[in-house]
A = this chain, B = another copy of it.
Amino acid sequence: MEFAKNQQNSWYENKEQVLVAVDCIIFGFDNETLKLLVFKREIQPLKGSWSLIGSFIRQNENANQAGLRILKDITGLENIFMEELKTYSAVDRDPGARCISIGQYALIRIDENNKELVNKHGAFWFSLDELPELVLDHNQMVKDALDRLREKARFSPVGFELLPKYFTLPQIQTLYEQIFQKRLDSRNFRKKLLSLNFLKKTEIKDKSSSKKGAYLYEFDYEKETDQSFIFKG
């Protein structure tokens, strides 16, 4: 860099600044339905309404770090799958101030560990078809995130972040049926999934949802490839 360090922050001095928020669209799966984590907004305006979880971005973090910070605060989890969705920058989107929001969506496992922490923050898991009205443009964000998730699931093996370490094939199928909102043929689904060779079978059966029991599998990250993975949406 060819310019003096003490020039910092002076070049752009007369430019207008705006607030930048990060809002998190957090998906979870409880082995039955795809859910979304929303909470009671804690700040004015619109305090007390249902809202996505968000925060203003801080000077010392980038957008992804901000999202992960929020997620850790609420769920206690680190190493979460989180990706940028898009920005929301309509001039009047937030009546509190001119504020641009960067939507980030995350996929996490719903399990006992984090339920407690989540409740403590006034957060709740809602089924996607029972989602309440959210503040500002947050319903749009959810819609966009779902579209993105579907699109992504068609072409890459996404969604394993929503499952526990060991899972059964019927479990993944239910997950994909939730994502695509349609029934899938189990023979074709299993054939396709297993042909991709990134699942490791164990000899353990999970009998929690049937008498016969279903074999547990785990994701083999070594073998994950980018081969296309096309399911009809």
Contacts and interface: CB of A to CB of B under 8 A. Distances in A.
A46 B3 contact: yes
Interface in A133-166: none
Interface stretch (A84-92, A170-178, A210-218): A84-92
Interface stretch (A29-37, A56-64, A184-192): A56-64
5 contacts: A8-B97, A16-B59, A57-B89, A60-B91, A87-B102
Copies of this polypeptide in the complex: 2
Contacts of A9: 96-97
Interface residues of A, number: 40
Interface of A: 1-3, 7-9, 11-12, 15-20, 43-46, 56-64, 84, 86-87, 89-91, 95-100, 102
A102 B84 CA distance: 12
A15 B100 CA distance: 13
Given A12-B99, A95-B8, A18 B90 contact: no
Contact of A91 (B18, B46, B62, B89): B62
A165 to B, nearest CB: 30
A43 B14 CA distance: 13
A151 B72 CA distance: 32
Contact of A19 (B1, B8, B12, B56): B12
